[in-house]
Amino acid sequence: MARKPSNSKHSSETNIRKRPRDSQRTQEVIAKELLARSSGRTPAGGPSTRGNSLGVLLGRFLGHFEVRSVCAKEVDLIKPTHRNGWLRPQIEAKLASLHPHCPDHRELSRLVNVSLDLLAAVEAGRFDPGPDWSKLEPRLLRALAYLLSAYDAIPDDLPNGFDDDMREFQDLATHAGALFEIFESWERPS
CA separation for the pair 28, 25 (Å, rounded): 5
Residue 39's pLDDT is 47
The shares of helix, strand and coil residues in the chain, as percent rounded to the nearest 5, are 65, 0, 35
Residue 18's pLDDT is 42
Region 153-177 average pLDDT: 86
Mean pLDDT for all residues in the chain:
76
Q: How many residues does the chain have?
A: 190
Asked if residue 77 has pLDDT above 60, the reply is yes
* pLDDT tens-place string over residues 132-146: 999 999 999 999 999
Reference 70, options 158, 183, 171; nearest CA is: 171
Asked if residue 122 has pLDDT above 60, the reply is yes
Burial of 23 (0-12, 13-18, 19+ CB in 10 A): exposed
Do 22 and 52 touch, CB atoms closer than 8 A?
yes
Who's near 115: CB < 8 A, 6+ residues apart? 140, 143, 144, 169, 172
- The rounded Cα 67 to chain-centroid distance in angstroms is 16
* pLDDT tens-place string over residues 21-76: 445 555 555 555 545 544 444 344 444 445 556 656 666 666 666 667 787 888 88
